[in-house]
Structure 1
Amino acid sequence: MPEKRKVLAIGAAGHFAGLVLPELAKRGAYVRGFIQKDADREAVLQHGARETAVGDLRDPASVEAALQGMDALFYIAPAFIADEGAVGRQVVDAAVRAGVRRIVFSSVIHPTLGTLVNHREKGPVEEAIFKSNVEYTILQPAMFFQNFAQGWAEVVKSGTYGEPWSAETRFSRVDYRDVAEVAAMALTEDRLLYGTFELCSEGNLNRHDVAALMGKVLGRNIRAGTVDLDKTGGGKDAPPPPIRTMMDWYNHHGLLGSALTLRAILGREPRTLEAYFEELKATDA
């Protein structure tokens, strides 16, 4: 691959692919951001893209057109997109037709979990990449720290952190900024080629542990609560079937991994959840 990598970042306007853009820019990559609407163009350029391509992920022709002239592809699927496996396979096929030489796919921890559609649908995409004969790196991150941001204001207001599954279930988590750093390494260097990497920070916490950590950062007691999905009232507020299935799984099983791989790749300790909560607290100041 040429010294200055040309990378198409799919979902460049999203919360997570958007974190990859500045990491690529730091490494001198030329980034084209794939976006759904032109209104996102300026924000994507400010995050480090040099240009944008507007298209529809479900339209292979627009994806292939955006891939023209690119050396590499970063792909993360939108959360709970319908037919995720089929869409992802189309993206891989488009990359092959466009002559892309490298794909970095942000998958998920434990993609073999057939019970969870958002895990199960990653498997066909990984398989398509393996069959494509292109260079690849597969990233399998744990739950993202960034998922806490949406409910932070309510935690501060109510003094309770609630989720719609058992408070005893333990999870590994990761700051997606660390994942983004690994993705940029994989797109611009060769040392991670043909690797499949489970990416987690240190610690397997249940909700009691998370609430205690929030309380430590906020300097007051935070309770671990439980959200009742049956009280959402149905209709447009009712959780879709994949979400309910996921909640049912989490009532009995966690998603656990090791920080060893992420620590080794970064050459430093991964970001901590406590530090992330400190950042959230600072935004309220």
Structure 2
Amino acid sequence: MIAVLGGHGKTGRAVCSALADRGVDARPLGRADWPDLASEVAGCEAAYVIAPNLHPDEPAYVASALAALGSAGVERVVYHSVASPYAPAMPHHLGKAVSEDLVRRSGLGWTILQPGAYLQNLDLTGPLDLPYSPDVRFGFLDLADLGRAAAVVLTEPGHGGATYELATRVATVRELADEAGVPVRRVADPGTHPWLSAMFAYYDDHGLPVGTRVLDAMVQRR
């Protein structure tokens, strides 16, 4: 039995689906403060920890989860981080960098996954508006591949103490839009969240490149 903290979101559903494909039972749990988390994860061999997007204090969230896992006797944890977590210009990435340190010092067996931007975050069914340059390079990750990689590290030996960056392909948004036959244009930052604005500015300057070879090896794709 594998606990998936944040198991009802799109990431958690992808992980649970990939575990089911391997005949492994998953226990999806909601993303909230868990007064009874230790009892909910009791009997699980491992846990996959996903924090809510843009959580205001992800290290505290992860610390609470790690404490509950430890008290419940869960021996292994896989933490869902992000590609390039130590990027000082992006505050929510820095929260994941601090959380990675907590995971490494938790006393549990651990593995860290650092996914690139999800392909599914781009709606390529029609005209695509972007608040950052469509011509910078990204390491994009398909959600199904994220699930497969998570299932590998949760169920196979040899991944303890490992940190893996994951991407399905490297491309610009314009290249993806051209392949889909849809137009893409640059628009103003809507200013919905200061962390998102900081992220868009970082993307403008650097993109978010991630190599693909690690994922290829993990899911034995040639």
* Length-normalised TM-score, structure 1: 0.73
Amino acid at match of 2:157: D
2:201 corresponds to which of 248, 255, 277 = 248
Amino acid at match of 1:214: A
1:14 corresponds to which of 9, 23, 28 = 9
Contact 1:161 / 1:224 at 8 angstroms: preserved in 2? yes
CA shift digits 1:8-66 (9 cap, x unpaired): 11111111111111211222323222126xxxxxxxxxxxxxxxxxxxx323x322221
Cα distance in 1 for partners of 2:174, 2:27 equals 42
Amino acid at match of 2:29: F
Contact 2:132 / 2:201 at 8 angstroms: preserved in 1? yes
**Larger radius of gyration, structure 1 or 2?**
1
Aligned residue pair count? 222
Cα distance in 2 for partners of 1:66, 1:228 equals 44
Cα distance in 2 for partners of 1:202, 1:152 equals 16
Amino acid at match of 1:30: D
Matched with 1:225 is 185
**What displacement does 1:147 show?**
0.6
Matched with 1:267 is 220
Task: Report the 3-state secondary structure (helix = DSSP H, G, I; strand = E; otherwise coil) of the residue aligned with 2:114.
Answer: strand
- Are 2:116 and 1:121 equivalent residues in the alignment? no
- Are 2:23 and 1:28 equivalent residues in the alignment? yes
Percentage identity across aligned positions?
28
Matched with 1:219 is none
Cα distance in 2 for partners of 1:82, 1:255 equals 22
CA shift digits 1:93-142 (9 cap, x unpaired): 21111111010111110111122122111112211111122111111110
Matched with 1:103 is 77
Matched with 1:201 is 168
Amino acid at match of 1:130: R
- Are 2:45 and 1:71 equivalent residues in the alignment? yes
Cα RMSD over matched residues? Answer: 1.6
**What displacement does 1:198 show?**
0.7
Cα distance in 1 for partners of 2:130, 2:105 equals 39
- The structure whose residues are more often helix, as a share, is 1
Task: Report the 3-state secondary structure (helix = DSSP H, G, I; strand = E; otherwise coil) of the residue aligned with 2:110.
Answer: strand
**What displacement does 1:184 show?**
1.0
Structure 1's 208 and 27: CA in aligned 2 closer, same or farther, altered over 3 A? closer
Matched with 1:283 is none
Cα distance in 1 for partners of 2:67, 2:99 equals 10
Contact 1:89 / 1:124 at 8 angstroms: preserved in 2? no
After the TM superposition, which parts of structure 1 deviate over 4 Å for at least 4 consecutive aligned residues? none
**What displacement does 1:91 show?**
0.9
- Are 2:189 and 1:183 equivalent residues in the alignment? no
